[in-house]
Structure 1
C-alpha cells in the first residue's frame, strides 16, 4: 500500500490523512509450489510384456478417458485366446458326456449279454441235473458229470460278470467323475478369461483425460512387466491441468492463524502481473524441516480453467486469515502513544489537536478506531512539529 501526498503551493505543515471507513485484513505470506492434486497425475504402463507396435501420443497431446495410447503386438495373445476357447469346448463336451451317462445302445447290449448269460446258466443247470441222474442209473461215466458241473460253474460266473457290466454301464460315471468334469470346465473358463484379459492389456488406454506430460518408450521397443505396480514399465505420464493445487509452506509462527476454507491469492513468475485465487482445503499436521526452518504444508485448491498454470511453478502466496469490513480506520502512522495512551492529532483549522483514541483491529497499513475520532476528520500522519503550521494534505488510496 502507498500514500500520495498533495502539497498545496507554499505548504510546510505535516502530512495528514482522512479518517474513513474501510475494510481491514490480516494475511500470512508463504512461498509454495504448484502441484497436481492426488489422482490428477497418473503413470500409464503395460501389465504384460511385449513389443510396442503402435505409440499413438506425444508430449503435450491432450487425451480423453479411454483414448488409445499404445498397442503391443497381439498375434500370440489372439492364439492364446483361441486355444483357451478350444480347451473350454472340449471340457464342456466331456461334462455333457458325464451328465448324460451311457448311451441307450450300450445299455441294451449289456442287458442282452446278461440275458444270454442267464439262459446259458439255466441250460447248464438242466444238463447237470440230467447227467447226475443218468450217472446214478449207471447210464454214463462220472467224467461226463464232472464236465457238466464245470460248464455250470462257468455259466454262473458269466451271469455274475454280465450283471456287473450292466450295473457299471447303467451308472457309468460316479459323483466324483461329475464333480471333476465340472471343475475342469470352471478351470477352462478361468483360463479363457485370463487369456482375454491379457489380450485387452495389449491395448493401453488413458485412464483419465488430461495432457501427456512425458513419454518414456518408443515404437518398436520391447517392454517387460513386473508383478508389483512399482515395477511395471511406464509408457506415458498424464496430468489433468484442471486439477492443480498450491502447496504453500507456512512458517510455524503463522500456522496457528491459518484454517481450512480461508481464501488465498498468489502470483507466479511466469505471469507476474496476474493474480490467481484459491482456497485452503487442508493443512498437513506433520512439519517440514529444512535448514532448521519449520514450515507446514497448506494445500490451496486453485482454478486453472485458463490453462496458464503448470506443475512445479513457484507460487508467492498470500492467505487471508482475518477480515473486518467497513470499520473506521486511520493509517498506522497516525496512531501514537503518549503518557500510556493512544492518541491522534486532528487538524482543526490551521491547528492540530491531540485526541485520545481507542483502537481495535490492525493490519499492515491501517488501524481500526473504536472511539475518539469521526469519519471525515483529518489526522496527522507525519511529525506534528509546530501545531500552528499550515497542514500538508495526505490522501490514502481510495480516499477522495
Structure 2
C-alpha cells in the first residue's frame, strides 16, 4: 500500500502540533509546581509557634517589607535580659557564670553565662541600668518567654573559705573586728578580710573554723 505525500504532510503537522501541546502542558505543570512551592514556608530554626498574626485565606506577599506573620521560639535555648545597676556594671563581663530562679519554680536554680552587655543605658525610676544578656539552656522546656527571673551573677568564685555575715563585722579604731563567744563572754578579734558579697565577707586572718561569732542582733 502507498500513502500519498499529502497524508504524510498532514500526519507530520498533527504530530508537531501534538508535541507542541505536550510541551506547553509540561511548562504549565512546571509553573504550577513552582507556584505551589511558594505555599510551603520553611522555618529557619526548629521550635514552636508562639503566635500567628494572619488569618486563613489571607494573602501574604514575599518581599523585604513583608510583615511577620508567624513567630517561632526555640525553647531549648533562651536568654535572660538582666538589668544591672550602673554602680555594678563595671564588674560585669562576658563569660561570667550566673544563676537565677523564676517564680514558677522557686526551688530550682537555673544556670547561664553572660554573653553581652548593651552599651546603651536604660533608665527606670531615675535609676540607670544596663541590659546584660545571659544565655541559658532549657533542655527540659520548663522556662517560658517573658518569665520574671531573679538573677545572681557570680563575679568571683571562692571555695573552702571562712566567711562571716557582714553585719557581724565592726570597725573600731581603724580596724575591722568581730566578737566571738569564749567561756560565755564576748571577746574582740581583729580580722583581715578578703572577698565580700552582699551577705558574707571572707576572713583571711583572725578567726578559725568553729569560732562562735556574735552578730549584731545577739550583742
| Bin of the TM-score, shorter chain as denominator length | 0.7 to 0.9
Larger Rg: 1
Q: Distance in 1 between matches of 2:87 and 2:151?
A: 16
Alpha-carbon deviation of 1:232? 5.0
- Of residues 97, 105, 108, the one that matches 1:271 is 105
Q: Deviations for 1:115-141, whole angstroms, at most 9, x for unmatched residues?
A: xxxxxxxxxxxxxxxxxxxxxxxxxxx
One of 201, 223, 243 as aligned partner of 2:77: 243
Q: 1:344 to 1:249 in 2, by over 3 A?
A: closer
- Bigger RCO (CA 8 Å, 6+ sep): 1
Structure 2 residue 65 is the aligned partner of structure 1 residue 230:
yes
**Counterpart secondary structure, 1:284:** strand
CA distance in 2, matches of 1:309, 1:383: 39
Whether 1:371 aligns to 2:202 is no
Task: Tell me the residue number matched to 1:5.
Answer: none
Q: Are residues 83 and 268 of structure 1, via their aligned partners in 2, closer, same or farther at CA, if it must alter by over 3 Å?
A: farther
Equivalent position SS for 1:229: coil
Q: How does 1:109-258 map to 2 (within 5 A)?
A: 197-219=34-56, 221-225=57-61, 228-231=63-66, 234=69, 236-258=70-92
Mean Cα deviation higher: 286-295 or 238-247:
286-295
Query: How far apart, in 2, do the equivalents of 1:368 and 1:233 lie?
Result: 53
Over aligned residue pairs, what C-alpha RMSD do you find? 3.0
Q: How far did residue 345 of structure 1 move?
A: 2.7
8 Å CA contact 2:98–2:153 kept in 1: the answer is yes
Q: How does 1:56-71 map to 2 (within 5 A)?
A: none
How many angstroms apart in 1 are the aligned matches of 2:203 and 2:47?
52
Classify the secondary structure of the residue corresponding to 2:158. Answer: strand
Separation in 2, partners of 1:271, 1:346: 39
Distance 2:88 2:170 in 1: 27
Given that 2:170 and 2:176 are in contact with CA atoms closer than 8 Å, whether structure 1 keeps it comes out as yes
Offset, 1:193: 8.5
Alignment match of 2:215 (pick from 365, 371, 381): 381
Question: Unmatched 5+ residue regions in structure 1?
Answer: 1-81, 88-191, 386-400
Please state which structure has a larger fraction of its residues in strand.
2
Q: For 1:290 and 1:216, locate their aligned partners in 2 and report how far apart those are by CA, in whole Å.
A: 31
Aligned partners of 2:161, 2:189: CA distance in 1, in Å?
19
CA contact (8 A) 2:102 2:148 kept: yes
Equivalent pair of 1:224/1:233 in contact (CA under 8 Å): no
Asked if structure 1 preserves the Cα contact closer than 8 Å seen for 2:60 and 2:66, the reply is: no
User: CA–CA distance in 1 between the matches of 2:27 and 2:213?
Assistant: 96
- Maintained 8 Å contact 2:168/2:178: yes
Give CA deviations for 1:226-247 in whole Å, capped at 9, x if unaligned: 5x3322573x332221121111
Q: Name the CA shift for 1:279/1:193 in 2 (closer, same or farther; >3 Å).
A: farther
Distance 1:255 1:233 in 2: 35
